[in-house]
Chains A and B, each alone.
Chain A
Amino acid sequence: MIAYLLRRLLYAIPILIGVNVLIFTLFFAVNSPDNMARIHLGMKHVTPDAVLKWKREHGYDKPLFYHGAAQGAGKFTDTVFAHKSAPMFAFQFGAADDGRDIGHDIKNRMWPSLALAVPVFLVGLLVNITFALILAFFRATYVDFAGVVLCVAMMSISGLFYIIGGQFLVSKLLHLVPISGYQGGWDAFKFLVLPVAIGVIGGIGSGARWYRTIFLEEMGRDYVRTARAKGLAERVVLFRHVLRNALIPILTGAVVVIPTLFMGSLISESFFGIPGLGSYTIDAIRSQDFAIVHAMVFLGSVLYILGLLMTDVAYTLVDPRIRLS
């Protein structure tokens, strides 16, 4: 098990290098560091000296991938790519293109993101499972049919509609909570309750339908028939047998998203003015800040790989038949 995990961790290194190469290539395929310098210094009246100075200050004054004039390994290490990517592996994100410290920003902005994403995840899981159980209990009746149609209809509504509609109804018409903004501590509650509710409602359609299929698949198995043949009530069969066994695929499936909760939600954070990592990313995309986008891509990839790893571990924990080797 330990050997397996170590091997998987080593396997992550080429993937992360690949991610860095890809994002570098995309960014610098048409954009040159000179261009970036001009954009950041303002397009008008930029002297070549100022461009050179900006590049030196921000570490873009070397060749991108291959430094022909350097000696030995320096041909590859003395480049923008190596200088910008290597510190990432130690989680040193350096400064943004406008000078702020990215690592510091991420530490600060992580908490609001988590405060939004964790409740959405947990409450969402609970609501979806409950809803799916109800549908499975009434399977092949009109309740089930109506529930599934409702799920499909809810899936077909754009996520933006839930946010815009919810904001309009709850904040503007009913004045129950502030439209947007954020405060630390307990005050956060009144800012978070609406985005959390909207996040949960927006996810019910696909979530509940997916879990319903899992429940129904589980209900077709032999042990369920045996339990019914013993004369157990449908309620007991559902809760004691089906629910427990169906939770295995549901939970192991949910584990993969846990690490990515850190990244925050792009859309709802920026609509509700929550200063988390999601709105940070959007701002960086809009202001074309390469350093921040690069850092977020790296962080996202690390978390994704972590999620895959956790899924593997979760499988062995809940199902003793699976051995990692």
Chain B
Amino acid sequence: MTNINFAFLWTDILIYCLLLVVGLYIWRARGKEHLAAPWRKVARRPMAMASAVVLFAFLAIGLLDSIHFREALPNQKPGAATEYSLEVISQLDRLLKPLRTQTEKTYSAPLAIQLYAMESMEQPDGRTLRGHPRLKYGGAHLGAASQSDVPRLVAQGTLIALLIWCALLITIGQCVTWRALLHGKTELPWRAILLTIGGLLWLGCVLWLLAPKYHVLGTDKVGQDVLYLSLKSIRTGLVIGTLTTLVMLPFALWLGVMAGYFKGWVDDVIQYVYTTLNAIPDVLLIAAAVLMMQVYMDINKDAFASITERADFRLLFLCLILGITSWTGLCRLLRGETLKLTEVDYVQAAQAFGVSHWKIMSRHILPNVMHIVLITVTLQFSSLVLAEAVLAYVGVGVDPTMHSWGNMINSARLELAREPIVWWPLLAAFAFMFALVLAANLFADAVRDAFDPRSE
């Protein structure tokens, strides 16, 4: 393809790395019964599988939004080197092109065809009239008619969704009996999975038909489509929830295990480091670090090719600093568990045989603390997504030009005080955040129940 030029942002590369790691883990876990058994337990829980479906939907959108490129500019000179636009966009932007480009003048309510506020309008005969002007794009296909066709589109979307869903149902029905499916008695909780997929399909199909013609969730102050903003924010939330973990994991893992294994002065030093980090109030540490980075970026303005790259750098840095503030808890847990494990027979035996420290730690101790890592990581995801919003409010969150739920909430929080009130940007951001965090929480619960040896 010559008309696009791929641009790899730092966070993109790390996301691909993370996918690779997860892939490797799944490949390894498939063959090993002791790793696969707890996951099968998770897979049998209806609630967990329903949340997994929702998480997959979020993940798919986030991944589409992680393929970045520059489009070639139109009207190229023949023969000359292709020139690319300065703006970095993602595959998701391309799919949602109508939503991205159809910006109105200012606020408009969800599914509205008129602006929210009254304005003076110039009539063809020269008189001015106060009223709600028609939107430039929302409902523009209706022409002069003001009869909205939303119900028709919703019905169409429902029909399409129902057809796809039925096809899916029949495919699944080949493998399980209808009776078991209806009563939720199948091996995998197909009933819950199918119902969730059905709900998502319905939402997807209806939005697919409505979104190009209407602003389904309205527009914000500068006329941007709120649905587009919310969808773009998914990637930011996912990146903060996952990359932070990726960043902190090596530290927490090795320091925790080393402290517990070597004891003595190593333990003292590592304990000192994490107590010191823990003693500083989290928000203050994050604030100090982010302010520092802000100054650094102001000094080295030229190091970033585009606004997107600068925002991406800041996002990565935020993950880094959130990682530094959040690894201490996991480190302490791992230290405690390792202290216990060093007294266990097989570790003692390995020591007696003269196996090297490195080998004992990586072969005997690490695999046996992995369940703690997994539980902590899944539980931490949702709190990190929620923390992003709070940090945005304090003013030390992601870059203001980056789409994130925190930034949406922060810029919209005064809109409830307006007269008449504007509620949709705020509610959209909260609703999306709630859906992601709820799904993550429910899934994390199932993971904890399956992997924690204490919960039986």
- Interfacial residues, chain A to chain B (CB-CB below 8 A): 14-16, 18-19, 22-23, 26-27, 29-31, 35, 152-153, 155-161, 164, 167-168, 172, 260, 263, 266-267, 281-282, 285-286, 288, 293, 296-297, 300-301, 304-305
Interface residues of B in 269-303 (CB under 8 A from A): 272, 275-281, 283-285, 287-289, 291-292, 295-296, 299
User: B279 and A161: CB pair below 8 A?
Assistant: no
User: A31 and B295: CB pair below 8 A?
Assistant: yes
For residue A107, give the distance in angstroms from its CB to the closest CB of chain B.
Answer: 19
User: B280 and A160: CB pair below 8 A?
Assistant: no
User: A288 and B291: CB pair below 8 A?
Assistant: yes
- Known: A26-B289, A266-B283; 4 extra A-B contacts, CB below 8 A, are A19-B280, A164-B426, A267-B393, A297-B284
- B409 within 8 Å of A by Cβ? yes
User: A159 and B417: CB pair below 8 A?
Assistant: no
Complex CA gap A31/B284 in Å reads 17
Interface residues of B in 430-456 (CB under 8 A from A): 430, 433-434, 437-438, 441-442, 445
Residue of A nearest to B439 (CB): A156
Residue of A nearest to B283 (CB): A266
For residue A143, give the distance in angstroms from its CB to the closest CB of chain B.
Answer: 17
Task: Give the residue of B279, B289, B389, B413 whose beta carbon is less than 8 angstroms from that of A15.
Answer: B279
Task: Give the residue of B281, B413, B417, B437 whose beta carbon is less than 8 angstroms from that of A156.
Answer: B437
Contact A297-B280, Cβ < 8 Å, known A15-B272, A156-B437, A161-B430? yes
User: B275 and A15: CB pair below 8 A?
Assistant: yes
User: A156 and B434: CB pair below 8 A?
Assistant: yes
- B382 within 8 Å of A by Cβ? yes
Chain A neighbourhood of B288, CB < 8 A: 23, 26-27, 293, 297
User: A296 and B284: CB pair below 8 A?
Assistant: yes
User: A30 and B395: CB pair below 8 A?
Assistant: no
Chain B residues bordering chain A, tally (CB within 8 A): 40
Complex CA gap A296/B386 in Å reads 24
Chain A neighbourhood of B52, CB < 8 A: none
Residue of B nearest to A148 (CB): B445
Complex CA gap A30/B278 in Å reads 23
Encode B403-418 as 1/0 by CB contact (under 8 A) with A. Answer: 0000001000100110
For residue A95, give the distance in angstroms from its CB to the closest CB of chain B.
Answer: 19
Contact A153-B281, Cβ < 8 Å, known A26-B289, A168-B416, A172-B417? no
User: A18 and B426: CB pair below 8 A?
Assistant: no
User: B395 and A286: CB pair below 8 A?
Assistant: yes
Contact A14-B272, Cβ < 8 Å, known A158-B433, A296-B284, A304-B278? yes
Contact A19-B276, Cβ < 8 Å, known A152-B445, A285-B287, A300-B281? yes
- B396 within 8 Å of A by Cβ? yes
Task: Give the residue of A23, A35, A157 whose beta carbon is less than 8 angstroms from that of B430.
Answer: A157
Chain B neighbourhood of A26, CB < 8 A: 285, 288-289, 292
User: A285 and B396: CB pair below 8 A?
Assistant: yes
Chain A neighbourhood of B433, CB < 8 A: 158
Complex CA gap A23/B285 in Å reads 8
User: A300 and B279: CB pair below 8 A?
Assistant: yes
Chain A neighbourhood of B434, CB < 8 A: 156-158, 161
User: B278 and A159: CB pair below 8 A?
Assistant: no
For residue A297, give the distance in angstroms from its CB to the closest CB of chain B.
Answer: 5
For residue A325, give the distance in angstroms from its CB to the closest CB of chain B.
Answer: 17
User: A296 and B281: CB pair below 8 A?
Assistant: yes
For this complex, 17 residue pairs linking A to B, each with C-beta atoms less than 8 Å apart, are A15-B272, A27-B288, A30-B299, A31-B292, A152-B441, A152-B445, A155-B441, A156-B382, A156-B434, A158-B433, A159-B390, A160-B390, A167-B416, A260-B281, A285-B291, A285-B395, A297-B284
Contact A152-B442, Cβ < 8 Å, known A293-B287, A296-B284, A301-B279? yes
Chain B neighbourhood of A267, CB < 8 A: 390, 393-394
Chain A neighbourhood of B272, CB < 8 A: 14-15, 18
Complex CA gap A27/B437 in Å reads 33
Complex CA gap A282/B394 in Å reads 7
User: B409 and A156: CB pair below 8 A?
Assistant: no
User: A22 and B416: CB pair below 8 A?
Assistant: no
Interface residues of B in 64-100 (CB under 8 A from A): none
For residue A166, give the distance in angstroms from its CB to the closest CB of chain B.
Answer: 11
Chain B neighbourhood of A158, CB < 8 A: 386, 389-390, 409, 430, 433-434, 437
Complex CA gap A285/B289 in Å reads 11
Top 3 A-B residue pairs of the complex, sorted by shortest distance between their CB atoms: A301-B279, A156-B438, A18-B276
